Amino acid sequence: MPTDIDAVRLDKWLWAARFYKTRKLATDAISGGKVHVNEQRTKPGKEVKTGAEVTINKSGYTWEITITAITGQRRSAKDAVLLYQETPESHAKRQLQIQEQREHKELFNFTGIDHKPNKKERRLIHRFKQTPD
């Protein structure tokens, strides 16, 4: 993806790289301290160039990336992946978090019921919770 520009606003780049659906969400994340450039807290209007190291904290996951290309236009997801290079440690850590969450969900969200409790079942549940030991 060749581009004529050498720098673009951070919020616009995050939007173009598809980390956030809108520039407003990107701006809020940057202002809230969820995005750091070169290990420094920054503002949404910060101009970023290729080679900048960006750390993004979103939904409990962390991306540590290096900007490899600059664009101000939102493209397809295939093109967006070409805008940055993620560190192998960051990718491995995030995959481990995803696997742990899947295991946790399978382990602790098992109820044995495949439907919403009806009135009779709710009474039984309530009665069970109210009985003293």
The residues spanned by each domain of the chain are: 1-92
Alpha-carbon gap, residue 78 to 123, rounded angstroms: 52
Q: Indicate the length of the chain as a whole number.
A: 133
Architecture field, domain 1-92: Roll (3.10)
Q: Where does residue 75 rank: exposed (0-12), middle (13-18), buried (19+ CB within 10 A)?
A: middle
The whole model's pTM is what? 0.75
Residue 118 is encoded by which pair of tokens? 């009806």
Residues in Cβ contact with 86 at an 8 Å cutoff, skipping those fewer than 6 apart: 63, 64, 65
Q: What phi, psi does 18 have (nearest 5°)?
A: 65, 30
pLDDT by position in tens, the chain (length 133):
545 688 999 999 999 999 999 999 999 999 999 999 999 999 999 999 999 999 999 988 999 999 999 998 998 999 999 999 999 999 999 999 999 888 877 666 555 667 788 899 889 888 888 877 5
Q: Where does residue 58 rank: exposed (0-12), middle (13-18), buried (19+ CB within 10 A)?
A: middle
Task: Report the amino acid identity of residue 28.
Answer: D
